[in-house]
């Protein structure tokens, strides 16, 4: 039972917590405490040193917005941002309650009265912006993956297709997202015109910009992964006369999964970086806009709030990568392979 739980934990990327649990349940406590001290001591020490260095350096830098915030000020701003969000949530609930009461009163007076329901339009908080950014990056990434993986498989299977398309890919790959942005904005404005849009235009622009930049690593890595399948395995498929589809899903996909995921993880990393830049430049809702707004705002708290955002951006990027690693563990056939 316990071992089962540990196995599941390891498979979703929490193997570092296992010794802690073993220690708590007194399973070889000496060995576990040694593992923990080895695994936790050095990183903790490094973090403490980093914070100390940050505190010393920041106390010596004075900007036009006051002193550069140290760890304590940034922590304080983090708490403020969460409080602001909670206050906003309370307002939202109160607004909904007021509206409902008003409408109920109207209906009681006149059952045929027209009722208008308005959406709460308070400013998006830091937490709201996080979720907006996450949704945008996921959408862009998924769209890119749905194009890049099949296209990569086709390019890997066919030398001719690959040599035809590869020059285009290689030229498109190094283009900065900021160069794409004006084009994407104009094209979306021209093409995406409905009276009742399902998605906000800014969301579509950000997601497409992310997609365009996310495509290439997945595409190129999948191509290489498929093209470098052992020739013996291809021969097995030929001798068995496997049908095209069976060949793809029994041989090509399992064999190229590791390369595919290398590509996906690179893509996700790029996508997240691109998104923040896009949001800053295009003023599209999300963490990037939050950073830019705070910069323009220029209050004495702004730098601290920006630093909170920077740290959150880093943590989310790390979490997204972990998420993909976990996904790779689930779909990869080689459960013993070390995935870094």
Partner 1 sequence: MPQRYLELSKVSIEFPTDDEPFKALDEIDLIINQGEFVSLIGHSGCGKSTVLNIVAGLYQATTGGVILENKEVSEPGPDRAVVFQNHSLLPWLTAYQNVELAVKQVFSKTKSASEMKEWIEHNLTLVHMDHAMHKRPSEISGGMKQRVGIARALAMQPKVLLMDEPFGALDALTRAHLQDSLMEIQADLNSTVIMITHDVDEAVLLSDRIVMMTNGPAAKIGEILDINLPRPRNRVEMADNPEYNHYRHEVLAFLYEKQRNPADKEAA
CA–CA dist 137, 277 (Å, integer): 12
Site map for partner 1, 171-210, x if CB under 8 A? ----------------------------------------
Question: Which residue's CB is nearer to partner 1, number 52 or number 337?
Answer: 337
Residue 295 near residue 64, CB atoms below 8 Å: no
Min dist CB 233 to partner 1, Å, is 6
Q: Which two tokens stand for residue 267?
A: 């893509």
Assess 26 for contact with partner 1 (CB under 8 A): no
Assess 114 for contact with partner 1 (CB under 8 A): no
- For residue 339, the SS3 value is coil
Question: Which residue's CB is nearer to partner 1, number 244 or number 318?
Answer: 244
Of 242, 273, 310, 316, the residue at the interface with partner 1 (CB under 8 A) is: 242
Q: Which two tokens stand for residue 294?
A: 């705070």
Min dist CB 335 to partner 1, Å, is 9
Residues in the chain: 340
What is the largest distance, in Å, between two alpha-carbon atoms of the chain? 82
Query: How many residues at the interface with partner 1, by CB under 8 A?
Result: 17
Stretch that binds partner 1, among 87-95, 99-107, 156-164, 332-340 (CB under 8 A): 332-340
CA–CA dist 43, 37 (Å, integer): 10
Question: Which residue's CB is nearer to partner 1, number 173 or number 243?
Answer: 243
Of 201, 250, 322, 329, the residue at the interface with partner 1 (CB under 8 A) is: 250
Of 66, 124, 254, 317, the residue at the interface with partner 1 (CB under 8 A) is: 254
Assess 236 for contact with partner 1 (CB under 8 A): yes
- The per-residue DSSP string of 201-248 comes to HHHHHHHHHHHHHHHHHHHHHHHHHHHTS-HHHHHHHHHTT--HHHII
Of 233, 281, 310, 325, the residue at the interface with partner 1 (CB under 8 A) is: 233
CA–CA dist 38, 36 (Å, integer): 5
245-271 per-residue burial string, b: 16 or more CB within 10 A, e: under 16: eebbebbbbebbbbbbbbbbbbbbbbb
Binding residues for partner 1, rule: CB under 8 A, are: 230, 232-233, 235-236, 238-242, 250-251, 254-255, 333-334, 336
């Amino acid at each position: 039972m316990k071992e089962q739980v540990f196995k599941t934990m390891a498979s979703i990327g929490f193997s570092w917590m296992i010794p802690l649990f073993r220690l708590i349940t007194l399973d070889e406590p000496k060995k576990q405490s040694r593992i923990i001290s080895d695994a936790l001591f050095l990183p903790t020490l490094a973090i403490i040193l980093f914070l100390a260095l940050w505190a010393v350096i920041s106390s010596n830098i004075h900007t036009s917005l006051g002193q550069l915030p140290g760890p304590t000020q940034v922590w304080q701003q983090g708490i403020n941002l969460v409080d602001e969000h909670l206050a906003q949530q309370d307002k939202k609930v109160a607004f909904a309650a007021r509206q409902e009461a008003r409408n109920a009163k109207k209906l009681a007076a006149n059952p045929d009265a027209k009722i208008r329901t308005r959406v709460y339009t308070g400013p998006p908080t830091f937490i709201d912006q996080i979720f907006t950014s996450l949704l945008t990056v996921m959408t862009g990434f998924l769209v890119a993956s749905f194009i890049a993986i099949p296209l990569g498989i086709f390019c890997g299977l066919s030398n001719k297709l690959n040599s035809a398309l590869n020059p285009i890919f290689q030229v498109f790959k190094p283009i900065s997202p900021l160069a794409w942005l004006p084009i994407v904005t104009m094209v979306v404005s021209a093409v995406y015109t409905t009276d009742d849009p399902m998605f906000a235009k800014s969301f579509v622009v950000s997601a497409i910009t992310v997609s365009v930049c996310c495509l290439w690593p997945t595409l190129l890595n999948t191509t290489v992964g498929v093209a470098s399948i052992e020739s013996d395995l291809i021969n097995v498929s030929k001798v068995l006369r496997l049908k095209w589809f069976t060949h793809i899903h029994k041989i090509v996909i399992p064999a190229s999964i590791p390369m595919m995921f290398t590509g996906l993880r690179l893509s996700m990393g790029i996508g997240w970086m691109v998104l923040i830049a896009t949001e800053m430049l295009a003023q599209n809702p999300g963490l990037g806009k939050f950073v830019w707004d705070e910069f323009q705002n220029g209050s004495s708290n702004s730098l601290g709030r920006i630093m909170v955002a920077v740290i959150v951006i880093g943590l989310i990027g790390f979490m997204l990568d972990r998420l993909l690693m976990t996904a790779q563990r689930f779909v990869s056939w080689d459960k013993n392979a070390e995935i870094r």
